[in-house]
Amino acid sequence: MTLLNEQSSLTKISRGTDYEQHPTLKQIVPGHTCLSCDVCCRFLDQQSHLAPIFTKEEFDKAVQVRLSAGLFQNSRDGSSRQIRLKPYRDLFICPAFDPNTQQCTIYEHRPLDCQIYPLAIMRDIDGQKVVLGIDPICPFAEAKIQTQSFQHYADYISSFLESEIVVNRIAQNRDLIGCFQENVVVVRQLTKLTEKVVAKIAPPTDPC
Ligand code: SF4
Ligand code: SF4
């Protein structure tokens, strides 16, 4: 879920040097838009591969501040964790989501996977490149994807993801790189990330 956090500095983040200390990225979707939307943090399938992935460090922080370690399962990459979804009415929700307030209860410590949404890191259709996509299921993204401000935001996220510290972090937590999704609009190639992980993104047991 994406709520307002307009305090982050574009300059700081785009250098990629403050990821450890200031992991909160600038958001493009206004908070009031998210609060009246019912898409994020809810899933149709309890085993959804789209359930958020936490890096080892994000997992440690989430457990330290609020969540039980038992709410997570190990990911395939051996480092990251994927949160287990829980039933709620006729859907499944992230256990960090409070459906009464529509808020993420670990908002300040939510993982990068959630922070960048409605953008997403995924493989291209051949599975050989890492790309940045925009998910048009987000109504705000669908309406604004062609605007200059959204394209600038894609540049901002792309440069953050291509910074050395983030490339290395994602390379250690490869499940952050999702499978190709047909409905997601590819907007940027993530060249450095591809170079770092290309030999590893399509092993024989790869489920993508
Ligand atoms: S789908 Fe888009 S508008 Fe809706 S909660 Fe998520 S980020 Fe906000
Ligand atoms: S961690 Fe927070 S933002 Fe991410 S899916 Fe769960 S409730 Fe939503």
Average pLDDT on 182-193 reads: 97
Name the residue at shortest CA distance from atom 6 of ligand 1: 40
Strands, sheet with 91-93, edge to edge from the N-terminal-most edge strand: 42-43, 91-93, 86-88
CA dihedral 37→86→115→32, nearest 10 degrees, is: 20
- Examine residue 1 and state whether it is found in any structural domain, yes or no: no
In sequence order, what E strands does the chain have? 42-43, 53-54, 72-74, 81-83, 86-88, 91-93, 97-98, 103-104, 119-123, 130-134, 185-189
**d(CA 51, ligand 1 centre) in Å:** 15
Residues with CB under 6 A from ligand 1: 1-2, 29, 33-34, 37, 39-40, 117-118, 138-140
Length of the chain: 208
CA of 7 to the centre of ligand 2 (A): 20
pLDDT of residue 208: 72
What is the extent of the structural domain holding 116?
A: 10-197
Residue nearest to atom 1 of ligand 2 (CA): 110
Q: Is residue 203 part of a domain?
A: no
For residue 154, the CA-to-ligand 1 centroid distance in Å is: 16
Number of domains in the chain: 1
In the prediction, which pLDDT does 8 show? Answer: 32
Residue 139, domain member (yes or no): yes
Q: pTM of the full predicted structure?
A: 0.89
- Would you say the CB of residue 92 lies under 6 angstroms from ligand 2? no
Q: What's the whole-number average pLDDT of the chain? A: 88
Ligand 2 centroid–CA 199 distance in Å is 31
- Which H or E element spans position 165? helix 164-172
Tell whether 68 is covered by a domain: yes
Residue 5 forms part of a structural domain: no
107 occurs within a structural domain: yes
pLDDT, one tens digit per residue, over 133-179 is: 999 999 999 999 999 999 999 999 999 999 999 999 999 999 999 99
